[in-house]
Amino acid sequence: MAAFTLKINGREHQIDVDPNTPLLWAIRDNVGLTGTKYGCGVAQCGACTVHLDGQTLRSCSLPVSAVGKSEVTTIEGLNSKEGGAVQKAWAALDVPQCGYCQSGQIMSATALLELNPKPSDQDIDLAMNGNLCRCATYVRIRAAIHAAAKSLEG
Amino acid sequence: MNAHVKPATELSRRSLLKAGAGLVLGVYVARSGIAFAEDAPAAKSVNIVPNTFLVIGKDDTVTVLCKHIEFGQGPFTGMATLVAEELDADWAQMRADHAPSNPVLYKNLLFGVQGTGGSSAISNSYEQMRKVGAAAREMLVAVAADEWKVPAGEITVEKGVIKHASGKQSGFGAFAEKAMQLPVPANPKLKDPSEFKLIGKEGAVKRLDTIAKSNGTAEYTLDIHDPGTLTVLVARSPRFGGKVASFDASAAKAVPGVFDIKEVPNGVAVYAEGFWPAKTARDLLKISWDDSKAEKRGTDQLLNEFRALSKTSGALVKQEGDVEAEIAKGGRLIETEFVFPYLAHAPMEPINAFIHWKGDTASARYGSQFPTPDHAVIAQVLGLDISKVELKTILAGGSFGRRAQQSTHVAMELAQAAKAIGPGRPIKLVWTREDDMRAGYYRPFGVHRMRGVVRDGKIVAWADTIVGQSIMKGSPFEAMTFKDGLDSTAYEGSNDIPYAVPNFRCDLHQVDVGVPVLWWRSVGHTHTGYAVEAFVDQLLEAAGQDPVEGRLAMMADKPRHAGVLKAVAELANWKGAKVEAGRARGVAVVESFNTFVAQVVELSMGADGPVVHKVWCAVDCGVAVNPDIIRAQMEGGIGFALGHILYAQQTLDGGVPVSGNFNTYRSLRINEMPEVEVVVVPSTEKPSGVGEPGVPPLGPAVANAMAKLGLPRPTQLPIRPGDTA
Ligand code: FES
Ligand code: FES
C-alpha cells in the first residue's frame, strides 16, 4: 500500500492503495466517481476512457503509481465547450442504448473535437475505433460527432 | 392520500387492494424525486415501494413504473409513450423507473411471471399501459369536474393541462391526491389510433434515459457503493461441471484489503474492499479442481460428433410430401452443411449483482431480467420468507439475453456468497470480462445439414437436419417451449419457412452437452435464419431465379414477409441500382417474434474478408409505437449481428473456453459499421417487438452478397475466425 494524491476534475484526492491499482479502480472504488466504466480491463473496449492532461487514456491499464502530477478528467468533470456540444448532440440524436459504453465514447469524441474541430469520417474512425459499443450505436455516434462539430462552427 | 411519506406496507396494501379489484393502476403522490427526468441533475435510482404502474407527483411529474428491464432496447420510453398518449400528458412531465419485483402486479402477460424477453415488452403492454393512462385521465377529469362543479364531458385534457371553457385549468398534481380516492375505472375509453399524438409520431418523444446516460449519472449495478459494501469475486471451475477439490488461500488472504475468503458451491469467493484487492487475491488462490464430472470435450470433437449425427435423420419436427421420393425422381440435388459456433453475449457491463442481507431481511439490487425466479431463489438460499426480501431491478449495461437467467445462477451465486459470510455487510458480486466470457450460457453450438432439389427452375424439395443443444431443457420454460419432447427454440424458423415447397422435412437431433447454453439475441433464429436464408438463395441461384423475385414467387400466403421484402427492394432500388464495380448485394428476410425484417447488404471484398458498406432494412412490427427506437434497434441489431458473423466464436479446448476477452472475441468497431437505412412499414397489426428481430437477416444477406461476387457462401461461422483485435 502507498499514499497517492490524484488530481481529478480539478480536485485533489488522497488515496492509500496498492501502487499497481489501475487508475480506473482508484477512480471508481477509492474516489467514488462511477461514471467511468469497466468493460474489459485490458485496453480493448474504451469504456474506461478518461482524459489525462487532455489526452484520452484507457484508465484500466495505467497503474495509479504512474499518474504522477497529471490531471485526470472524467465524464463527471467534462466541462469544455466541445464536451458540452458532444453531450447536446448525443441527446439530440438519442445515441445511447444501454448507455454503459457512452461515458467512454463521449470522452473520446470530446478529445477528438478538441484537437480537430472538423473531423472527417476517417478521422472519426481513427479516434473512435478503440471504443466498443456492444449495442452498436455507431451510426448515431458518427452522426452526433458531425452534429457537434457543426454546432461548434457558429 | 397525504403528501407525506407513507410507510411501505400501507402503500403496498393500498395498491394491492386496488390491483386485487382487477385494476392496474395506482395514483399516489411521489415521495421523492424519481430518476430519469430529462432535466434531473442526478439520476440515481430511488427505491420505490411496491405500487402499480403510475405515480403522479404533486409537482405534476408522471412516473411510469416499467415492469420490463431497460438495457437499451427502450421500454422506459415505450411504456411512458403509451401512458402519456392516453393520459394526454406533456412529454416533458414524463419519467420512468423500474417496477420492483412483484409477480402479481408486474407479470409479463406472455410468461405469467415478471420478466423481459422474447421482444415482448411493447406487445404485451400495449393495451395494459394505455389503459393505465386512460384510467388516470378519467379519474383526474372526475376530480376536476367535482371541484369546478362542471360536467366531466365539458373538460378537456391537453399536454398535461386539464381545462374547462370557463377558463378554469389545472395540472395533474393538484388533483392527484383526490383522484387516488376514486375507484379505478375498469374499462376506460381508449383513443382511436387516428387520435394518437405520440404513438407512431416521428419526433414526438425523446428517450427518457439519454441524459443520464450521457453524463455519467445513470446508475448500474457496478456503480453501487452503499456504505460498507464488499466486492466479491468468485474463482470458478475452468471446466463446466468441475468442483473445488481443495484450495489454499494463505497468499490471497495476505493481500491488504481482503476481508475474507470462503468456499461457495460454485468455487471460492474472495471478499474485499474494492475490485482490485479482490482480483489480486483471487489470482493468488491455489485451487485444485475435481473434474471427474466435468465436460471435457472440445469444440473440434463436438463438431465431429454433430457432423456424424447430421448425416442421419433426427426426431421429426415437420413433414410435408415426401422429400426422399422427390430426390429419387432426379433434378439437381444440393446439399450444404452449416456450422454455428458457441457465442457469448458479452454485454458491455459484465454480470454482477448486489445484496444486503441484514439477517431478518434482505434487499437486492441489480439488472435482473427475470425478477420472479431470482427473487424466489434469493429468499430460498437465505432461508427467508419472500416477503422479507426486496428485489429492485436497475439499469443494466446490455444483455442480449444474458441477464434472463432461467437457471437463476447469478441470483443463486449472489445469495450463496452472502450466506457464506453471514448477514451484516452488503456485498457486490462482480464478474470480470473473462469470467463473463468463460462462464458458458452461450448461444448453442450447432449444425444444419440442408438438402434441396431444384427441377425445372423450381425448388421442389427441402430438408433440414439440425443438431443442437436444448436451451430450455430443465428450465421453468420447458413446458412452454417443448413440443413432443423437442425444444422448439432449437428449430424455430426452420420448421416454418415462409416458402411454399411441396416436399418438406425438418428434423432435430437434440444433443446433451455439459456446457450451459442460453437464448442469445433472437434465440433459434440466430442459426435457423442463416441456414434457411443462405440456402434458399443458393437454391434460387441454381434455379436461375432472382433472389427477390424468386422468394416472392414462393410467398403467396405470406403477405407480411412479402411486404418487407418488397419494401426493402424498393428502398435499395434492388432492380435498378447501378452497383459499383467490385461490390455486390445480397438479401434476406426473417420473421422472429412476430416481427418481419428484410435486409439488403452491399459489400466488397477487402484483403481479409467482406467489407459491408451499406445495409437497407425494412421492418414490420405492427403498430410502430416509437419509430426512432425501432430504427435504433435495427441499426444496433445490424451492427451486433455483423460483428458476430465476421469474428465471434467461443471455442473449447478440452472443455475449457478459450476466448476470455475482446482481444480474441472480436467485436465490431465503428470503422466497420455500415451505413444503415431503415424503413418502418406502416401497419395496423398488433405491435410486436424490435429488440431481437434486426439480427437474423444480416448474416445470410452478407453470405448471399458474397455469392454474387462469385465466392462461396460461408458455411462455417464466423467468416474470419482467426481474426483477433
Ligand atoms: S475497461 Fe479499459 S479499455 Fe476496457
Ligand atoms: S450503448 Fe450499450 S454498449 Fe454502447
**Is residue B2 over pLDDT 70?**
no
Give yes or no: residues A65 and A88 share one domain.
no
Which residue among A29, A87, A98 sits closest to B398, beta carbon to beta carbon? Answer: A98
Which pLDDT belongs to residue B406?
A: 84
Give yes or no: residues A90 and A53 share one domain.
no
User: Could you give the CA distance from residue B236 to residue B244 in angstroms, rounded to a whole number?
Assistant: 8
Backbone angles phi, psi at B244, to 5 degrees: -70, 125
CB B619, CB B681: distance < 8 Å: yes
CB B133, CB B184: distance < 8 Å: no
CB B103, CB B650: distance < 8 Å: no
CB B547, CB B664: distance < 8 Å: no
Q: Is the CB of A40 under 6 A from ligand 1?
A: yes
- Final residue of a domain: which of A77, A94, A118? A77
Which residue among A35, A91, A141 sits closest to B670, beta carbon to beta carbon? Answer: A141
**Is residue B391 over pLDDT 70?**
yes
Which pLDDT belongs to residue B50?
A: 27
Which residue among B72, B628, B638 sits closest to A99, beta carbon to beta carbon? Answer: B72
- The pLDDT mean for chain A works out to 97
Whether the link from the prior residue into B718 is cis, omega within 30° of 0, is: yes
Summarize pLDDT for A63-105 with one digit per residue, the tens.
999 999 999 999 999 999 999 999 999 999 999 999 999 999 9
**Which amino acid is it at B154?**
E
Q: What share of chain B is helix, strand, coil (3-state, %, to 5)?
A: 30, 25, 45
Residue B648, helix vs strand vs coil? coil
Q: What is the CATH number of the domain that holds A115?
A: 1.10.150.120
DSSP A29: I
Q: Which of B68, B210, B214 should be substituted to probe chain A, the one whose Cβ sees the most A Cβ atoms within 10 Å?
A: B214
**Is residue B122 over pLDDT 90?**
no
Query: Rounded to 5 degrees, what angle do the CA atoms B179, B128, B61 make?
Result: 45
Give yes or no: residues A95 and A69 share one domain.
no
Residue B27, helix vs strand vs coil? coil
Give yes or no: residues A71 and A95 share one domain.
no
User: Could you give the CA distance from residue B289 to residue B397 in angstroms, rounded to a whole number?
Assistant: 32
User: Could you give the CA distance from residue B604 to residue B599 in angstroms, rounded to a whole number?
Assistant: 17
Three state DSSP letters for B77-122: HHHHHHHHHHHCCCHHHEEEEECECCHHHHCCCCCCCCCCCCCCHH
Which pLDDT belongs to residue B128?
A: 86
Q: Tell which CATH architecture fits domain B224-292+351-430.
A: 2-Layer Sandwich (3.30)
CB contact under 8 A, B348 and A142: no
**Is residue B491 over pLDDT 90?**
yes
Q: DSSP letter string over B116-147? A: --TT-HHHHHHHHHHHHHHHHHHHHHHHHHHH
Give yes or no: residues A58 and A35 share one domain.
yes
User: Could you give the CA distance from residue B482 to residue B275 in angstroms, rounded to a whole number?
Assistant: 42
Say how many domains are in chain A: 2
Burial class (CB in 10 A: 0-12, 13-18, 19+), B293: exposed
Chain B residues touching A126 at Cβ < 8 A: 671
Which chain B residue's Cα is nearest to A142? B670
| Ligand 2 site residues, Cβ closer than 6 angstroms | A 96-102, 133-135, 137; B 72, 348, 398
Q: Please give the radius of gyration of chain A, using alpha carbons only, rounded to the nearest integer.
A: 15
**Is residue B21 over pLDDT 60?**
no
Q: Please give the radius of gyration of chain B, using alpha carbons only, rounded to the nearest integer.
A: 27
Q: How far is the CA of B636 from the centre of ligand 2 (A)?
A: 9
Which chain A residue's Cα is nearest to B665? A44
Under CATH, which number does the domain B299-341+441-708 receive?
Answer: 3.30.365.10
Give yes or no: residues A85 and A71 share one domain.
no
Which pLDDT belongs to residue B725?
A: 62
Which pLDDT belongs to residue B286?
A: 98
Q: Which of B69, B116, B210, B348 should be substituted to probe chain A, the one whose Cβ sees the most A Cβ atoms within 10 Å?
A: B348
Beta bridge partners of B334: B452
Give yes or no: residues A69 and A122 share one domain.
no
Residue among A73, A92, A141, A79 at smallest CA distance from B211? A92
Give yes or no: residues A42 and A97 share one domain.
no
DSSP B75: H
**Is residue B43 over pLDDT 50?**
no
* Closest atom of ligand 2 to CA, residue A135: 2
CB B430, CB B230: distance < 8 Å: no
Assign residue B563 a region (left: φ > 0; alpha: ψ between -120 and 50; beta: otherwise).
Answer: alpha
**Is residue B293 over pLDDT 50?**
yes
Chain B residues touching A106 at Cβ < 8 A: 214
**Is residue B348 over pLDDT 70?**
yes
> H or E segment at B271?
strand B267-272
Backbone angles phi, psi at A91, to 5 degrees: -70, -40
CB contact under 8 A, A45 and B348: yes
Where do we find the cell 454482477? Answer: B352
Residues B2-20 have a mean pLDDT of 31
User: Could you give the CA distance from residue B43 to residue B39 in angstroms, rounded to a whole number?
Assistant: 9
Residues B481-497 have a mean pLDDT of 95
Instruction: With cut-offs at 50, 70 and 90, classify the pLDDT of residue B81.
Output: very high
Strand bridging mode B389-393 / B362-366? parallel
Which chain B residue's Cα is nearest to A100? B397
Which range among A32-36, B263-267, B404-408, B575-579 shows the weakest confidence by mean pLDDT?
B404-408
**Which amino acid is it at B520?**
W
- The pLDDT mean for chain B works out to 90
Q: Do domains B224-292+351-430 and B299-341+441-708 have the same CATH topology?
A: yes
Whether ipTM > 0.90 holds is: yes
DSSP A26: I
Ordered by start, the domain boundaries in chain B are 10-215, 224-292+351-430, 299-341+441-708
Beta bridge partners of B614: B602, B675
Residues B635-664 have a mean pLDDT of 97
Give CA B361 to chain center in angstroms.
Answer: 31
Instruction: With cut-offs at 50, 70 and 90, classify the pLDDT of residue B248.
Output: very high
Beta bridge partners of B56: B62
Q: Measure A134 CA to nearest chain B CA, in Å.
A: 6
Residue among B53, B190, B71, B84 at smallest CA distance from B119? B71
Which range among A79-93, B167-181, B407-421 shows the weakest confidence by mean pLDDT?
B167-181
Q: DSSP letter string over B296-326? A: ---HHHHHHHHHHHHTS--EEEEEES-HHHH
- Alpha helix positions (H), B452-600: 478-481, 525-542, 547-553, 559-571
CB contact under 8 A, B210 and A91: yes
C-alpha cell of A113? Answer: 473535437
Give yes or no: residues A86 and A58 share one domain.
no
- Final residue of a domain: which of A28, A46, A77? A77
Query: Rounded to 5 degrees, what angle do the CA atoms B401, B673, B646 make?
Result: 65
Which pLDDT belongs to residue B80?
A: 95
Where do we find the cell 374499462? Answer: B187
Instruction: With cut-offs at 50, 70 and 90, classify the pLDDT of residue B111.
Output: low
Give yes or no: residues A148 and A96 share one domain.
yes
Q: DSSP letter string over B412-445? A: HHHHHHHHHH-SSS-EEEE--HHHHHHS--BBPP
User: Could you give the CA distance from residue A128 to residue A108 in angstroms, rounded to a whole number?
Assistant: 6
Whats the size of chain A, residue-wise?
A: 154
Q: What is the CATH number of the domain that holds A65?
A: 3.10.20.30
Give yes or no: residues A16 and A72 share one domain.
yes
C-alpha cell of B466? Answer: 439440425
CB A105, CB A39: distance < 8 Å: no
**Which amino acid is it at A139?**
V
Which residue among A32, A42, A97 sits closest to B225, beta carbon to beta carbon? Answer: A32
- Final residue of a domain: which of A43, A77, A111? A77
Where do we find the cell 474494492? Answer: B274
**Is residue B119 over pLDDT 80?**
no
**Who's near B538: CB < 8 A, 6+ residues apart?**
B334, B336, B452, B707, B713
**Is residue B5 over pLDDT 60?**
no
Ligand 1 pocket test: which of A42, A50, A52, A56 has the largest number of ligand atoms within 8 Å of its C-beta? A42
C-alpha cell of B210? Answer: 439519454
User: Could you give the CA distance from residue B129 to residue B605 in angstroms, rounded to a whole number?
Assistant: 48
Give yes or no: residues A34 and A100 share one domain.
no
**Is residue B28 over pLDDT 70?**
no
Q: Does domain B10-215 have CATH number 3.40.50.300?
A: no
Backbone angles phi, psi at B571, to 5 degrees: -60, -40
Residue ranges making up the domain that contains A135: 81-152
CB contact under 8 A, A132 and B632: no
